[in-house]
Amino acid sequence: MIARTAPRPRPQAPRSPRGWAMAGALLGALGALVAFAPAQWLASGLARASGGQVLLAQARGTVWTGSAQLVLTGGAQSQDRIALPGRLQWRLRPAGAGLGVALQADCCTRTPLQLTIAPRWGGATVAVADSQSQWPASVLTGLGTPWNTLQPQGRLALHTQALALQWAAGRLQMTGQAQLDMLAMSSRLSTLRPMGSYRLQLTGGAAPTLTLQTLEGLLLLSGSGQWVGQRLRFTGEASAAPDHEAQLSNLLNIIGRRAGSRSVISLG
C-alpha cells in the first residue's frame, strides 16, 4: 500500500508594493488626524462632559494646541451665560501614562496652570502644580441659580499647594490644599459696596474638609464641612454686623434659612 503525503502549503505571495503603499498612507492619515484634530472636537467633548455648563466658544487651533473664549452657563436649557474676558489658551502633551495640560487665561493667570491627568482602574487622578491666579467673581453669574440672583462682584484669588484629586470606585480622594479668597465682594441684593472679603479653605485627607471664614467686612460668614464619598456636607451661618442688618436683609433671606438675625446655610 502506497502512503500518501500531505500536500505542501502553497507559499504566500509577498505583499505588493501597492499594498504596502496603501497601508502606509492609511497610517499616515490616521497620524495626521490625531496630530491635527481640530479644537472644535475638544470644545464639543467638554460641552458634553459638563452638561453644557462649560463651553469653549470660537475655538481655534487643534485639540493639542489652541485657544477659545471660556463661557460658563446654567446648562443646556439655561439662558444664563457669561464669558471670561479675553481668551483661554491650552497646550496638551503626553506625560508618561497620562496627559499634561497647560492653561493660560489672558485675564487671570500670570503663568500657565499646569495639570497632569492620569487614567486609573475605575477612575482617574488629576495633579495640580502649585499655582496662583485671580478671576472675576462676575463669571459665576453664568452658572445660573443661585448666582444669577446674587450677581456677585469682586475678585477670586485661587492658590493651590500639592493638590491632587483621585476618583476611584465612585469616591473622591484628595491630598494637598486649595485656598480661594473672595475679595471685596458685593451683590445686587445689597447696597453695601463692598460687603466684605472671605476665605474658603479646602484641605485634603481621608475625608477632605472645607472651611469658610470672614477676613473683613459687614457681612459675616462662617462654616465648615467635609466630603463623604462624592457628597459635600456643609453647615454655616451668615449674619450682619451691628446696625447693618437692614442693608443685608434681602441677601440673608436668599443665601440660607432665616433664624432670627442669622441665616443658616446647610448643604448635603
Length of the chain (residues): 268
Per-residue pLDDT at 212: 98
What are the residue ranges spanned by the domains of the chain?
133-163+176-267
Mean pLDDT by 10 residues, the chain (268 residues): 55 52 43 65 92 94 95 85 94 91 95 92 89 95 89 96 86 91 96 95 92 97 89 94 94 92 92
User: Which residue is listed with cell 485639540?
Assistant: 63
As a three-state string, the secondary structure of 114-183 is EEEEEEECCEEEEEECCEEEEEEHHHHHHHCCCHHHHCCEEEEEEEEEEEEEEEECCEEEEEEEEEEEEE
